[in-house]
Amino acid sequence: MKKEKWLRARSDEQKEMRIQEIVSATERLYSNHRYEEITFVQIAKEAGFTRSNLYKYFSSKEEIFLEFLKHDMKIWKSDLLNNFIKSDYSVDEFAEIWIDLLQKNKRLTELTSILYLHLEKEVSYDNLLDFKQTFTKDFEQVITHLAGKIKGFTIDKVPEFLSLQSTIGVGLYQMTDLSENQKKILELPEFCQWKVDFRQKFVQATKYILDGLIKD
């Protein structure tokens, strides 16, 4: 039965089903392993593929993770569209909803933190172009939706906000995604001042960015 299930897709619909199965297998592996611990062979095994069959859909682990990131991006976008529904948020209200959505979709931040360092550098031009095009379409919807949600938050200012908060979010994630040894060190009195609370710092940064853009 398993062999029959994974016969090569003969239609676009069948191909999309195979891709979704691969993404789901990657998601299961990622729930228990870090990115660097996961291999192409492991993904193939988890999805019920042979390595050669998996190559019919993806050429590398990085390509699969780009698809995985696109999947999470769409979930985050849907959450965002469903949560920012008013047209007169205060900066404080906006910042709290923004961090709630970010923490709800924590995996998106995790994957974005390896996007430029690993994923984009290790895929083909065509795969990178496809990812960028999908990413841009999703962001265009987000930009249009967020414009005007705060007084003075015009459509020309939203892209700058998204760019700045993404940069800060990835940086803060890397500073707070700590190993057990790092956590223990920061509990020592002489180093406790270096502890960073992700939510607190991100909300603070979001407010600063919004205040600056709106007043500009």
CATH number of the domain that 30 lies in?
1.10.10
Same domain, residue pair 76 and 100: yes
Final residue of a structural domain among 58, 76, 106: 58
Same domain, residue pair 79 and 25: no
Report how many domains make up the chain. 2
For residue 9, pLDDT over 70 is answered with no
* Start-end of H helices in 48-120: 51-54, 61-83, 91-104, 106-112
Same domain, residue pair 31 and 71: no
Q: Give the span between the Cα atoms of 11 and 9, in whole angstroms.
A: 6
pLDDT confidence bin for 58, thresholds 50/70/90: very high
Same domain, residue pair 184 and 117: yes
Tokens of 50: 């042979």
- Three-state SS at 179: coil
pLDDT, the chain, mean: 92
Same domain, residue pair 33 and 68: no
How far is CA 180 from each of CA 34, 188, 195, rounded to the nearest angstrom? 15, 13, 13
Lowest mean pLDDT among 9-13, 25-29, 161-165: 9-13
Tokens of 4: 């029959």
Same domain, residue pair 111 and 168: yes
Lowest mean pLDDT among 6-15, 82-91, 127-136: 6-15
pLDDT confidence bin for 122, thresholds 50/70/90: very high
Residue 14: what pLDDT? 85
Q: What would the DSSP string read from start to end of 155-171?
A: TTTHHHHHHHHHHHHHH
Final residue of a structural domain among 43, 58, 73: 58
Q: Which residues span the domain enclosing 204?
A: 61-215
Same domain, residue pair 66 and 152: yes
Residue 8: what pLDDT? 60
Same domain, residue pair 48 and 150: no
Same domain, residue pair 53 and 66: no
Same domain, residue pair 44 and 105: no
Same domain, residue pair 106 and 201: yes
Residue 90: give its domain's CATH number.
1.10.357.10
How far is CA 138 from each of CA 72, 81, 114, 152, rounded to the nearest angstrom? 11, 11, 19, 23
How far is CA 203 from each of CA 20, 92, 108, 111, 192, rounded to the nearest angstrom? 34, 8, 18, 21, 21
Same domain, residue pair 204 and 127: yes
Average pLDDT over residues 4-9: 52
